[in-house]
């Protein structure tokens, strides 16, 4: 290799080491205040549920205004999946709904809170989410029409399919 090429290769090698040591300089440290609005996970035992509450009657009004256009009248299905009804899951193709598939009532709250309404996610208040959750659970006959859902009562609702999931790879737990 000619001497000028050696010098060039040496310069590139030494120069790239300094660049790698510095790093790509992407992003910036995130402030905990920036994370807080997105730190909204709700666990099956209710950990993370916010203050507030709602009843099926309150949820019925909200559902009619903000949900029925997609999920149909009283949640029986429309352009989006039904949130009410559903028979036994006796075959893989069986329709899966909140009543026959979801394992935890807190997951219903969590999903509504972070993803609904579809065209405007995260716009519902916590009280509206509790009310919608109460309405859906009541329509599925999982709670009574006079039951109120809040951080204390919601985790106590036992979903029919709570024990219906199989751990596919138990050795990996």
List the one residue out of 139, 158, 125, 122 whose CA is nearest residue 60.
139
Domains in the chain, CATH or no CATH each: 41-163 (1.10.760.10)
Express each pLDDT in 66-92 by its tens digit: 999 999 999 999 999 999 998 888 888
Query: Residue 42: its pLDDT value, please?
Result: 96
User: 173: pLDDT confidence band, cut at 50, 70 and 90?
Assistant: confident
Whether the predicted pLDDT of 5 surpasses 60: yes
Q: What is the pLDDT of residues 157-170, one digit of tens each?
A: 999 999 888 878 88
Closest CA to 150 of 105, 95, 90: 105
Is pLDDT above 60 for 119? yes
The pTM of this model reads: 0.79
Average the pLDDT over 113-127 and give the result: 96
- CA gap 136, 119 in Å, rounded: 20
d(CA 48, CA 104) in angstroms, rounded, equals 14
- Over residues 109-135, the mean pLDDT reads 97
| Residue 10: predicted pLDDT | 63
Token pair, residue 36, equals 């807080």
Give the confidence band of 16 by pLDDT, cuts at 50, 70, 90. Answer: low
Mean pLDDT check: name the lowest of 62-66, 85-89, 101-105, 122-126: 85-89
pLDDT tens per residue across span 20-75: 567 788 888 899 999 888 888 999 999 999 999 999 999 999 999 999 999 999 99
Q: How many of the other CB atoms lie within 10 Å of CB of 106?
A: 23
d(CA 104, CA 43): 9
The whole-number average pLDDT for the span 128-141 is 98
């Amino acid at each position: 290799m000619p001497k000028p090429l050696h010098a060039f290769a040496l310069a590139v090698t030494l120069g790239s080491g300094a660049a790698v040591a510095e790093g790509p300089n992407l992003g910036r440290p995130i402030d905990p205040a920036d994370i807080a609005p997105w730190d909204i996970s709700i666990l099956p035992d209710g950990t993370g549920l916010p203050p507030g509450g709602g009843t099926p009657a309150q949820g019925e009004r909200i559902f009619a205004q903000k949900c029925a256009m997609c999920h149909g009248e009283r949640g029986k299905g429309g352009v989006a999946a039904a949130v009410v009804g559903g028979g036994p899951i006796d075959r893989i193709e069986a329709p899966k709904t909140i009543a026959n598939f979801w394992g935890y009532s807190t997951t219903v709250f969590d999903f509504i809170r972070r993803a609904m309404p579809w065209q405007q996610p995260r716009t519902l208040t916590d009280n509206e989410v509790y009310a919608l959750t109460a309405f859906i659970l009541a329509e599925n006959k999982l709670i009574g029409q006079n039951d109120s859902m809040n951080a204390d009562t919601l985790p106590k609702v036992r979903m029919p399919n709570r024990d219906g999931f199989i751990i596919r790879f138990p050795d990996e737990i």
